[in-house]
């Protein structure tokens, strides 16, 4: 099974069905990890053609992504695309990621800091970008963009410990530590809900974690 | 003449003895745990009734008064309890995560085989 999309989801019954149907046009299988949803996320995703892996309780985005990627490697996927379940990422960008995986280990999408990105996200992203550059020597635009792809062969080197929103930054830290070949590509984004996703407190925690990883060399 | 701080200490000590006893009766504490907390509470009551008991220790450690020693000991105890609770909490969090993820993958693999 060459390419798999892993989509962690929690209470996304409104959007998950459409996303799965669109993503299936570009990958061989879609794995939706239901991270303790209280609504019909699993059923909607399954009806649309996704394979469901369900957490009994909510663990967080990082844990859900890890479950999905562990499962994808067991299913012998060669390329893994990870994306969000809220319709923020355009499935038609997937071929760009898969194409770049022919020469790079990891492909990271970046969103433009245009007028559509909420101000708080823009400021927070800039701060985390700066922290990545100072702490890990990697200039990565939009470190919190969850639209990424990597080869299964490098998954064990990338495999993260963070159970929460720190997963994106930890991946970047691991790319630096393991000297993986990476590239960034621009993606389109839609912000349907300004208040969803990482909060200011999450941002502070992410920067704190980055400092901890660097100082303690714990990744 | 007994001071207000001493009265507070005695009341706190007796309160702790009562709560430890309740936990023991509810089978939440083992006899050892009940014994430990009761002894600690008894020590608090005794030190409140007879603060001069610790005068040699206070003088040796060069504290101005016994209350300063109690405050420092209290902080040390709180920090230790906090560290212990944090360690247990982190360990439980990691174990729960591993268990939930393992169960999810096993269930999915089993479903796939069907």
Q: Note the pLDDT tens digit of each residue in A83-94.
A: 999 888 999 999
Task: Tell if the CB–CB gap between B104 and A53 is shorter than 8 Å.
Answer: yes
User: Residue range A90-102: average pLDDT?
Assistant: 95
Chain B partners within 8 Å of A57 (Cβ): 96, 100
Give me B107's structure tokens: 């269930």
Window 96-125 of A: residues touching B by CB (8 A cutoff) are none
Q: A-B interface: how many C-beta pairs under 8 angstroms? A: 39
- Rounded-to-integer distance, Cα A209 and Cα A170, Å: 8
Considering all CA atoms of chain B, what is the largest pairwise distance in Å, rounded to the nearest integer? 81
Q: Which of B89, B104, B112, B113 to mutate to test the interface with A (most CBs of A within 10 A)?
A: B104
Chain A partners within 8 Å of B108 (Cβ): 51-54, 71
Q: Which of B92, B93, B100 to mutate to test the interface with A (most CBs of A within 10 A)?
A: B100
Tell me whether 0.85 is exceeded by the ipTM: no
Structure confidence at residue B113 as a pLDDT band (50, 70, 90): low
Which 3 state secondary structure label does DSSP give B53? helix
What's residue A197's pLDDT?
A: 61
Task: Tell if the CB–CB gap between B97 and A63 is shorter than 8 Å.
Answer: yes
In terms of Cα–Cα distance, which of A86, A126, A97 is closest to A27? A97
Structure confidence at residue A114 as a pLDDT band (50, 70, 90): low
Interface residue A63 vs chain B (CB under 8 A): yes
Which DSSP string do the residues of chain A spell out, in sequence order? --EEEEEEESS-TTTHHHHHHHHTTTSSEEEEEEES-SSSHHHHHHHHT-EEEEESS---HHHHHHHHHHHHHHTT-SEEEE--SSS-B-GGGHHHHHHHTTT-SEEEEEE--STTS-HHHHHHHHHHHHHHHHHH----SSTT---EEEEGGGHHHH-----STTHHHHHHHHHHHTT--EEEEEE-B--S-TTSS--HHHHHHHHHHHHHHHHHT--
Task: Tell if the CB–CB gap between B100 and A54 is shorter than 8 Å.
Answer: no
Distance set, CA A107 to CA A83, A101, A132, A194, A210 (Å): 12, 7, 17, 26, 21
Residue % of chain B over a pLDDT of 90? 66
| A106-111: strand order across its sheet | A51-55, A29-35, A3-9, A79-82, A148-151, A106-111, A182-187
Let me know: does A203 contact A105? Beta carbons within 8 Å. Answer: no
Nearest to B107 among A54, A63, A70 (CB): A54
- Rounded-to-integer distance, Cα B86 and Cα A81, Å: 35
Q: HEC string of A47-67?
A: HHCCEEEEECCCCCHHHHHHH
User: Taking the CB of residue A121, how many other CB atoms lie within 10 A of it?
Assistant: 18
For residue A80, is pLDDT > 90? yes
Interface residue B102 vs chain A (CB under 8 A): no
Helical pair A200-216 and A119-136, crossing angle rounded to 10 deg? 0
Q: Note the pLDDT tens digit of each residue in A192-208.
A: 555 556 677 788 888 88
Task: Tell if the CB–CB gap between B101 and A67 is shorter than 8 Å.
Answer: yes
> Which of A69-78, A136-145, B73-82, B84-93 shows the lowest mean pLDDT across its residues?
A136-145
What's residue A123's pLDDT?
A: 81
- Rounded-to-integer distance, Cα A184 and Cα A172, Å: 12
What's residue A14's pLDDT?
A: 92
What's residue A132's pLDDT?
A: 87
> Which of A54-58, A62-66, A162-166 shows the lowest mean pLDDT across its residues?
A162-166
Nearest to A55 among B93, B104, B109 (CB): B104
For residue A34, is pLDDT > 90? yes
For residue B11, is pLDDT > 90? yes
pTM of the prediction?
0.80
Q: Note the pLDDT tens digit of each residue in B22-54.
A: 999 999 999 999 999 999 999 999 988 988 888
For residue A219, is pLDDT > 90? no
For residue A191, is pLDDT > 90? no
Give me B8's structure tokens: 């507070």
By C-alpha distance, the chain A residue nearest B103 is: A55
User: Residue range A132-155: average pLDDT?
Assistant: 91
What's residue A27's pLDDT?
A: 96
User: Residue range A118-144: average pLDDT?
Assistant: 84
What's residue A189's pLDDT?
A: 74
What's residue A205's pLDDT?
A: 85
Mean of pLDDT over chain B: 91
- Rounded-to-integer distance, Cα A146 and Cα A5, Å: 12
In terms of Cα–Cα distance, which of A95, A173, A182, A82 is closest to A136? A173
Per-residue burial over A204-215, b if 16 or more Cβ lie within 10 Å, else e, is ebbbebbeebbe
What's residue A115's pLDDT?
A: 53
DSSP state of B51: G
- Rounded-to-integer distance, Cα A46 and Cα A37, Å: 14
């Amino acid at each position: 099974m060459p390419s798999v999309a892993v989509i962690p989801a929690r209470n996304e019954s409104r959007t998950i069905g459409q996303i799965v149907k669109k993503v299936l046009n570009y990958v061989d299988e879609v794995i939706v990890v239901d991270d303790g949803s209280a609504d019909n996320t699993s059923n909607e995703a399954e009806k649309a053609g996704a394979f469901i892996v369900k957490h009994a309780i909510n663990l967080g985005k990082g844990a859900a992504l890890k479950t999905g990627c562990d499962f994808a490697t067991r299913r012998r996927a060669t390329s893994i695309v990870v994306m969000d379940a809220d319709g923020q990422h355009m499935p038609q960008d997937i071929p760009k990621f898969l194409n770049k995986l022919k020469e790079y280990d990891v492909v990271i999408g970046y969103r433009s800091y245009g007028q559509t990105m909420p101000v708080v996200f823009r400021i927070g992203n800039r701060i985390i970008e700066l922290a990545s550059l100072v702490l890990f020597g990697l200039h990565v635009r939009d470190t919190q963009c969850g639209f990424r792809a990597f080869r299964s062969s490098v998954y064990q080197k990338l495999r993260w410990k963070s159970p929460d929103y720190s997963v994106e930054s930890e991946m970047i830290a691991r790319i630096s530590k393991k000297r993986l070949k990476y590239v960034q590509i621009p993606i389109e984004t839609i912000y349907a809900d300004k208040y969803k996703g990482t909060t200011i407190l999450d941002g502070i925690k992410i920067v704190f974690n980055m400092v901890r990883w660097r100082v303690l060399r714990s990744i | 003449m007994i001071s207000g701080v001493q009265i507070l200490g005695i009341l706190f000590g007796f309160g702790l003895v009562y709560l430890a006893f309740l936990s023991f009766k509810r089978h939440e504490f083992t006899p050892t745990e009940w014994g430990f907390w009761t002894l600690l509470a008894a020590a608090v009551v005794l030190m409140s009734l007879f603060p001069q008991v610790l005068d040699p220790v206070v003088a040796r450690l060069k504290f101005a008064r016994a209350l300063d020693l109690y405050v420092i000991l209290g902080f040390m105890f709180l920090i230790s309890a906090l560290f212990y609770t944090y360690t247990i909490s982190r360990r439980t969090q990691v174990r729960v995560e591993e268990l939930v993820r393992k169960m999810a993958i096993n269930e999915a693999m089993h479903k796939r085989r069907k």
